[in-house]
Amino acid sequence: MKNMHFKLVLIVCIFHSVYSYNVTDEGRLFTDLFSNYNKDLRAGNDRDYPLNVSMQFYLLAIKEFVEASSKFTVNGVFAITWRDERLSWDPATYNNITKTLVFQEKIWIPNIVTVNPFEEAYGLGSNLVQVNVDNEGSCFWVTMQSFEVICDADVTYYPFDKQYCVLKFVAYTLDVDWLNISFPNSEVTLTNYEESGLWKIEDTANYCYIEEGSTYVVVGLHLKRRSTYYLASLILPMTVVAILQAFVFVLPNDSGERVGFSVTILLTSVVFLTIIQEKLPEASEPNISVLGFLLFGYVILGALVTLCVILSANIHSFTEATHMPKLLRYICCLQSNIVEGTLSSSSTMKVASKEEEMEEEPPSCSWNDVAKRFDRFCFISSLFLYAIQVIIYFGLSA
């Protein structure tokens, strides 16, 4: 029992001796550390070798990506470590203090600045988070902030597109002889990442490269758009509306609603085109969106359908007194015989030449029959052309 009490007392004494320092001890430590400290001088006692700086990026969230303005914003954290021997001390001298917190404005920190900011260039860090310093002079700096950079979007296959956006930084004032920046991990840490409802991260990369004596730090994100929303709310309604325009040829000519229906559907396609143009960048590089070409095809085909509707209405309004060319009458009657399967005996006779055929008395066919045959041809042709456009678009976007 006495041994048990002795062990408890020993543990309490050890614990007390380790954590018994107070604010006075820490204040004395600060006074001694910064009495002759010059934050303008780079850390590292050996000036013949560059200072080793280790970095790691932790992505927290993708805030926004505005393709029209090329604005890409993410929330993230840089964890940066280095050693500054001037900030080392003997823990026994200061009542076993092994670490402390220091505002970044009081010590030397790596001067790392953005290369591709959306507006103004800015450096890493703020005094919202302090630098953790231990008794060996090892500094652990966490820079938590929102990064706004330029990312030129490639919307060729929008909304099935993939984007590659980078956060790019450089140590302007410190060349490779002064600073050696490295990433222990080649990928971005996604431990605390909140999934985006619009973008899926397919791959990430952390790396450094040297150009003109300066070290550049790059954080790359490979993004893929989640296209389900756009497919259900944009592409499918747009395609259904466009295909619906072909059914104008099913409406009776006597109804008087064909031209109004066709023009209304055409204007709807134009509205969809306007919506797409507002979402996409105005630049033509690297490529214009295939979806824009699809909508443009819908509008052009819709205009042709409207012209065909007007032409069909004019044909339907012709009276029997209006002369019908012989060739048109033959085509109309031949199509009627093929559809009905009752070819006349005169059509099965061989003719010696086209001149003899044209001299024969053409069969009877009204302008109303011509309008119906024309509507059937336009209906099938427009459906076929709409289907071809959709197949080409999804074939290119796949």
The string of DSSP codes covering 94-118 is: GTS--EEEE-GGGS-----EESSBS
Please tell me the pTM assigned to this model: 0.74
pLDDT of 93-108, one tens digit each?
Answer: 998 899 999 998 899 9
The residues that bridge with 222 in the sheet, in sequence order, are: 164, 203
Task: Provide the token pair at 153.
Answer: 């979007």
What order of strands is seen across the sheet that includes strand 51-66?
99-102, 131-134, 138-150, 71-83, 51-66, 179-182
CATH 1.20.58.390 fits 229-320+366-397, yes or no: yes
* Average pLDDT for runs of 10 along the chain of length 398: 40 43 85 90 85 93 89 94 93 90 90 90 82 93 91 86 92 81 90 91 92 88 90 84 85 77 82 75 68 83 86 75 61 54 43 44 62 83 90 83
Give the distance, in angstroms, between the CA of residue 123 and the centroid of all CA atoms in the same chain.
26
Closest CA to 139 of 113, 104, 178: 104
| Nearby residues of 8 by Cβ (< 8 Å), 6 or more positions away | none
Task: Provide the token pair at 282.
Answer: 């105005």
The three-point CA angle 16-35-132 to 5° equals 50
Separation CA 214–CA 179 (nearest Å): 9
Write down the pLDDT at residue 236.
87
Q: Would you list the domain boundaries of the chain?
A: 9-226, 229-320+366-397
The three-point CA angle 57-59-60 to 5° equals 140
Separation CA 214–CA 212 (nearest Å): 6
Write down the pLDDT at residue 346.
44
| Nearby residues of 394 by Cβ (< 8 Å), 6 or more positions away | none
What is the third-level CATH fold of 9-226?
Acetylcholine Binding Protein; Chain: A, (2.70.170)
Give the distance, in angstroms, between the CA of residue 11 and the centroid of all CA atoms in the same chain.
58
Separation CA 25–CA 8 (nearest Å): 27
Separation CA 372–CA 374 (nearest Å): 5
Write down the pLDDT at residue 334.
57
